Chains A and B, each alone.
Chain A
Amino acid sequence: MIWSKYSAPQAFYPLAGRLIPWFSVVAVALIGVGLYMGFFVAPTDFQQGEAYRIIFVHVPAAWMSMFLYVVMAVWAGVGLGLNARLSFMMAQAIAPTGAMFTFLALLTGAMWGKPTWGAWWVWDARLTSELILLFQYAGVMLLRTSIDDLRRADRSSAVFSLVGVVNVPIIYFSVQWWNTLHQGASVSMSTGSKMAATMLTAMLLMTLAFWLYSVAVILSRVRCIIVERESLPVWEEQPTVVQKVAEVR
């Protein structure tokens, strides 16, 4: 089976190396196209003017932040269940990228909120859940760095990410409930169901681009982790480099 072959870190390392350029190039290209469509092609919103265009970054980033958390938890679960080293490495590699997207979603949310709602921060259900999500990413990463024993670090942070996956929907629901109690239905993030086709296309393009970017970044981070953990020289490249040096002499 091809999967079992590549589940060994040593076998995965060169595969990841071959995939990274493809994902990076397509990600950059799609980000270019997506941003162009979002900022120049999509029509101006008649209520919010030009300010709404930040959602082409904001919404895909928020989607990715949640998606990546789930993916991280799945790898963590696979790692716990099958005791697979590579799964834990994947989970470890995903966390920083997920946290970055969460932060990006919060930042762009604030930038969007100021002109739209007149405040940098509103205790909207989505924004609040996003904030808690950031805390959970931080928790996963902090727990990992505080534990010296690698095996325990892997497994403990895996348990915590799985616990968090149950928690996020509950938080989202509870904050929404809390909002209706305190201030009536809050301003919704979505700009209405009749979104122009170009807007939707731009948003989906950006999401795809962010996904490709995540894959590229995560794969290269996994490569670093493999080298670090398996305490092996950088495979393949190493001997040829040594040879070249010998030839020069």
Chain B
Amino acid sequence: MLQAVTLSCRRGERRLFSDLNVKVEPGTLLAVVGENGSGKTSLLRIFSSLLPPEEGSILWDGEDIHQLKELYSEQLTYIGHLNGIKDDLTPIENVMSAMALAGEVCSRTAAQEALEAIGLKRLIHRLPSKVLSQGQKRRVALARLWVSTRPLWLLDEPFTSLDAASTGVVTQRLHAHLQRGGLAVIVTHQEVELPAERVQRLRLAG
């Protein structure tokens, strides 16, 4: 279970939010919505432990994530606003090196299957990623979700520059993750087409 307790965040002079309390149960998804600059990404980065909150804390199964440190990193897959893929590596190499870095096992075939699952044909698996379109690069980044075994997914605008078909595929994958008892926090400005009982919406006022 992921929990935010009396969280407040300030970037520079601006206070983005304060006294924010939210709870994400296993099997559910928290969709963070709000206008540009309302602090959605900052909230996600606080959840990921990249950004320390000004006040308050994040609890994972009741323990502060800043005490858990690496034990918490073992629980999560974070795909940020930046794709985290290398232009000079092929999609397969990107998936494999990202997984190796995260300390998860990922064979070449598993990486290939993940890329195919998100709709990237075999033909482009061996091209350097710099020739791919924005949407294709985003899909390379999201392909990690098919090989990730982590219970907590933190996704920042996962559907940006994806076409309708890929959005559907990713949503299905999210659903499967939740059905297995996984948790997810996603920042989005789109409606997530998941069963209502699984989705909790958090609107940041800005």
Contact = CB atoms under 8 A, between A and B. Distances in A.
B13 interface: yes
Nearest to A149: B12
A40 B12 CA distance: 55
A149 B13 CA distance: 9
Interface string B68-81: 00000000000000
In this complex, the interface size class of chain A, counting residues with CB under 8 Å from chain B, is: under 10
Nearest to A229: B13
Contacts of A149: 12
A149 B12 CA distance: 6
Contacts of A231: 13
Interface in A88-133: none
Interface in B46-97: none
Nearest to B13: A231
Interface string B1-41: 00000000000110000000000000000000000000000
Interface in A118-175: 149-150
B64 to A, nearest CB: 15
Nearest to B11: A149
A9 B42 CA distance: 26
Nearest to A83: B52
Contacts of A150: 12
B67 to A, nearest CB: 15
A8 B126 CA distance: 58
Nearest to B52: A83
A47 B12 CA distance: 60
Interface in A27-50: none
Contacts of B12: 149-150
B54 to A, nearest CB: 9
A154 B101 CA distance: 31
A159 to B, nearest CB: 16
Contacts of B13: 231
A141 to B, nearest CB: 21
A231 B10 CA distance: 15
Nearest to B12: A149
Nearest to B10: A151
A45 B39 CA distance: 69
Nearest to A231: B13
Interface string A188-211: 000000000000000000000000
A150 B13 CA distance: 9
A149 B51 CA distance: 14
A55 B166 CA distance: 76
A71 B86 CA distance: 43
A156 to B, nearest CB: 15
A133 to B, nearest CB: 32
Nearest to A150: B12
A201 B12 CA distance: 49
A148 to B, nearest CB: 8
A231 B12 CA distance: 12
A231 B13 CA distance: 9
A150 B54 CA distance: 14
A152 to B, nearest CB: 10
A230 to B, nearest CB: 11
Interface string A56-90: 00000000000000000000000000000000000
A231 B15 CA distance: 14
A180 to B, nearest CB: 47
A149 B10 CA distance: 11
A3 B12 CA distance: 27
Nearest to A151: B12
B161 to A, nearest CB: 28
Interface in A214-249: 231
B33 to A, nearest CB: 26
3 contacts: A149-B12, A150-B12, A231-B13
Interface of A: 149-150, 231
For the complex of A and B, 3 pairs with smallest distance between CB atoms: A149-B12, A150-B12, A231-B13
